[in-house]
Amino acid sequence: MNKKFVLALTLAITTCVANSQTLRIGLAEDPDILDPTLGRTFVGRIVFASLCDKLFDIDEKLGIVPQLATGYQWSADSKTLTIKLRTDVTFHDGEKMDAAAVKFNLERHKTMPGSNRSGELRPVNTVDVVDAATVRLNLSAPFTPLLAALAAWRANHAALDCTLVRGNHDSRAGDPPSALGICVVNEPWLIGPFAACHHPQLHPTHAVIAGHLHPACRLHGPGRDSLRLPCFVVQAGQAVFPAFGEFTGGWTVAGEAGRGLYPVGGGKVWCLPQIG
């Protein structure tokens, strides 16, 4: 390349950067809604990070660090969390942030219809204003969620879009924390030719992929030898996926006409002969 051209290009870029007063960041899509209580998408969390501060944040080592808070303390029975707040913070409109504002926001997250934060605050019974710089959360029971492993995995796969289709357990456990950047939807979630559901069912226009039942099949060998393996169950209009967790149990499925069983074992998926 011509050295004069390279020099001219370098000077042009330097001049543009020097004269620019605005940093523009391109996102793959628009946020779903500009409301932290109702927002549920990963790109929305990126936007909120530039607009809103949190009581606490997660650092590069996945440690909990104060942001709008200055510190916190648990009670001896782990059912009361007292949070001390910064006193030098104002909202965009100039109003001062204090404990009353924190109480309002937490209660809005917990009780507003359609809130995607309510599950995270389900263990919180009440929020008390101790003084202008102190707020107290009263919990129904000790709550120490074991999210460190999930947070570490999410940090290592931050570019991966994750969508959770709510199921029956989520009605009690609640949605995962928004900091994990997992999009949460109700069933059916239509994606291409498929309808992703938690409960097995039929859809009028899409083939269903579902879970919930944790199907397994039993293989019989010589004598009384048998082996029970998790399996995929495929039949007209739907496929039910197995579960591989240690605490999920399983529903033993028998082969029948029109039903395909695909057990998982030895690092492979096997196809069993179909009946009929």
Please tell me the distance from the alpha carbon of residue 82 to that of residue 134, in angstroms, as a whole number.
7
CB 117 within 8 A of CB 109: yes
Q: Which 3 state secondary structure label does DSSP give 256? A: coil
Residues 165 and 262 in one domain: yes
Q: Is residue 197 part of a domain?
A: yes
Which residues span the domain enclosing 67? 42-139
Predicted pLDDT of residue 8? 43
* pLDDT per position as a tens digit, 102-122: 999 999 988 999 887 887 788
* pLDDT per position as a tens digit, 39-83: 877 777 778 878 888 888 777 665 677 889 998 888 888 788 898
For β-strands 64-66 and 80-85, DSSP reports them as: unpaired
**Domain C-terminal end among 95, 113, 139:** 139
State how many domains the chain has. Answer: 2
**Domain C-terminal end among 139, 171, 197:** 139
Q: Is residue 214 part of a domain?
A: yes
Q: What is the mean pLDDT of residues 219-234?
A: 87
The pLDDT of residue 187 is above 90: yes
The pLDDT of residue 22 is above 70: yes
Residues 193 and 85 in one domain: no
pTM passes above 0.75: no
Residues 104 and 152 in one domain: no
**Domain C-terminal end among 109, 139, 169:** 139
Please tell me the distance from the alpha carbon of residue 82 to that of residue 34, in angstroms, as a whole number.
29
The pLDDT of residue 206 is above 90: yes
- DSSP H or E segment with residue 189: strand 189-191
Q: Is residue 25 part of a domain?
A: no
Predicted pLDDT of residue 51? 83
CATH number at residue 101: 3.90.76.10
Please tell me the distance from the alpha carbon of residue 123 to that of residue 79, in angstroms, as a whole number.
9
Predicted pLDDT of residue 146? 41
The pLDDT of residue 230 is above 70: yes
Residues 158 and 247 in one domain: yes
Q: Is residue 6 part of a domain?
A: no
